[in-house]
């Protein structure tokens, strides 16, 4: 069956360190993968999109990698700040061009 | 740019009543709008996809007669929860995209929390 998995346990990181979140998928061959941020009681906000032919994408303190062999994307936040605390969702496109969503990983940055 | 609004942000209603939620793209024309529901600590669940001027496409298991979707213009889609029951209590989020399908980035509204008593 097709699955997209994110670590369901909250990730606690000390301020200033790099936070790394994982998104694994099975039985998909997505053309691209996206990462979103969701704050409590709010809709998701788009962060980054990475295509299957891109190994890495950066935006300010954010970096996303995409390994189609491992079927995994990693999302990094460098020099993390308490304001980065949120739930981060990954989403990929299936063969019907629909976005399939992971359940998200809650990130907590401690001062 | 690409701002999506939803109204209301919060609604409490009695069981059996109908509730309408509006989703507007404020600064762009949204060819496609999506409606999701999200339960606490769970993933976004796509309910339906609507393209302006045509009938919405509902996901399996979503009752089209219960969740009425109207996409009357390129900037407005509405979701009406008819005869709401407590199990319909959830967080409803709309999103919009420029494309004709769910390809590409989706821009989300702030969500509507529905509580049915």
Does any CB of chain B come closer than 8 Å to the CB of residue A95?
A: no
Nearest to A45 among B102, B104, B108 (CB): B108
Does any CB of chain B come closer than 8 Å to the CB of residue A46?
A: yes
pLDDT, one tens digit for every residue, chain B (117 residues): 689 999 999 999 999 999 999 999 998 888 889 999 998 878 889 999 988 778 899 999 999 999 999 988 889 999 999 999 999 999 999 999 876 555 668 899 999 999 999
- Report how far residue A17's alpha carbon sits from residue B39's, in angstroms, rounded to the nearest whole number: 31
Nearest to B110 among A42, A46, A99 (CB): A42
Q: How many CB atoms lie within 10 A of CB B86?
A: 9
Tell me, letter by letter, the H, E, C secondary structure of chain B.
CCCEEEECCEEEECCCCCEEEEEEECCCCCCEEEEEEECCCCCCEEEEEEECCCCCEECCCCCCCCEEEEEEECCEEEEEECCCCHHHCEEEEEEEECCCCCCCCCEECCCEEEEEC
Confidence band for A5, pLDDT divided at 50, 70 and 90? very high
Nearest to A44 among B41, B108, B113 (CB): B108
- Report how far residue B97's alpha carbon sits from residue A109's, in angstroms, rounded to the nearest whole number: 31
User: Closest approach of chain A CAs to the CA of B70, in angstroms?
Assistant: 20
**pLDDT reported for residue B100:** 52
Higher-scoring residue by pLDDT: B42, A59? A59
Question: Is the pLDDT score of A52 beyond 80?
Answer: yes
Q: How far is CA B110 from the centre of its chain?
A: 11
- Note whether A45 contacts B101, CB cutoff 8 Å: no
Does any CB of chain B come closer than 8 Å to the CB of residue A102?
A: yes
Taking phi first (over 0 means left), then psi (-120 to 50 degrees means alpha), and beta for anything else, what does residue B39 get? Answer: beta
Tens-place pLDDT, residues A23-32: 999 988 888 8
Write out chain A residues lying below 8 Å of B107, CB-based.
46
- Residues A78-87 have a mean pLDDT of 97
- Note whether A45 contacts B109, CB cutoff 8 Å: no
Chain B residue at shortest CA distance from A47? B105
End-to-end CA distance of chain A: 41
Chain B residue at shortest CA distance from A88? B43
């Amino acid at each position: 069956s097709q699955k997209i998995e994110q670590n369901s346990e909250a990730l606690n990181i000390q301020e200033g360190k790099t936070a790394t979140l994982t998104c694994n998928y099975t039985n998909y061959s997505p053309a691209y993968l996206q990462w979103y941020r969701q704050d409590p009681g709010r809709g998701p906000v788009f962060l980054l999109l990475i295509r299957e032919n891109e190994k890495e994408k950066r935006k300010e303190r954010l970096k996303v990698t995409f390994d189609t062999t491992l079927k995994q994307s990693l999302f990094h936040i460098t020099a993390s700040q308490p304001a980065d605390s949120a739930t981060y969702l990954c989403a990929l496109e299936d063969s019907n061009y629909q976005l399939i969503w992971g359940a998200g990983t809650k990130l907590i940055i401690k001062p | 740019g690409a701002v999506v609004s939803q109204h209301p942000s919060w609604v409490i209603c009695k069981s059996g009543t109908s509730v309408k939620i509006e989703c507007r793209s404020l600064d762009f024309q949204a060819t496609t709008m999506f409606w999701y529901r999200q339960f606490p600590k769970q993933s976004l669940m796509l309910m339906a996809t609507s393209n302006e001027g045509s009938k919405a496409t509902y996901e399996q298991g979503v009752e089209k007669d219960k969740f009425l979707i109207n996409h009357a213009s390129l900037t407005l889609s509405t979701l009406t929860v008819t005869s709401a029951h407590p199990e319909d209590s959830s967080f409803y989020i709309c999103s919009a995209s420029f494309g004709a399908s769910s390809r590409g980035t989706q821009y989300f509204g702030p969500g509507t929390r529905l509580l049915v008593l």
